[in-house]
Amino acid sequence: MKKLIDQDDKEISEINMTPFVDIILVVLIIFMATATFIVEGKIPISLPEAKTGEKGKELERKIVITIKEDGTIYLNDRKVNLSQLKEELKKLKTEKSFVILRSDKNTTFQNFVSIIDICREVGIDQYMIETKQD
């Protein structure tokens, strides 16, 4: 009498590495994409230097305004123009609002003054100018 052997009943003698390699490649791709977004999230500017700078404080309602060398304005990492900035500041303003001004050292001073004027019009009078220490 002959015994029939089912193909599914064979003993597995080695591990199939293909699914493991697929998972590792997917994790690597996710890591690389995430790292790219983190790096691109910052607005590159060359801050002016100051010898008497002080360490920044963590504030409850900080609003970051960045001015690039070409005059482009960013409100909390989002590109805006002067009229949009005024409207957005009205929405964000609270009693404890505090503006951190970041300006490229090569931008015109008029850009900086325009931002301060808008902040005063909205009613924000607490500022911190971000610099790098030399």
Q: What is the CATH number of the domain that holds 103?
A: 3.30.420.270
| pTM for the predicted model, two decimal places | 0.58
33 belongs to a structural domain: no
104 lies in which domain range?
Answer: 58-133
Please count the CA atoms within 13 angstroms of the CA of 33 that sit on its side-chain side: 6
**How far apart are alpha carbons 88 and 77 in whole angstroms?**
13
23 belongs to a structural domain: no
63 belongs to a structural domain: yes
46 belongs to a structural domain: no
Q: Which of 4-8, 21-25, 73-77, 83-87 has the lowest mean pLDDT?
A: 4-8
**90, 93, 85, 84: which is closest to 62 by C-alpha?**
93
83 belongs to a structural domain: yes
**How far apart are alpha carbons 69 and 105 in whole angstroms?**
7
36 belongs to a structural domain: no
pLDDT tens track for 62-120:
888 999 988 899 998 889 998 899 998 888 887 778 888 888 888 888 888 899 999 88
104 belongs to a structural domain: yes
pLDDT class for 38, splitting at 50, 70, 90? Answer: low
Q: Assess whether pLDDT exceeds 60 at residue 53.
A: no
At 74 the pLDDT is: 92
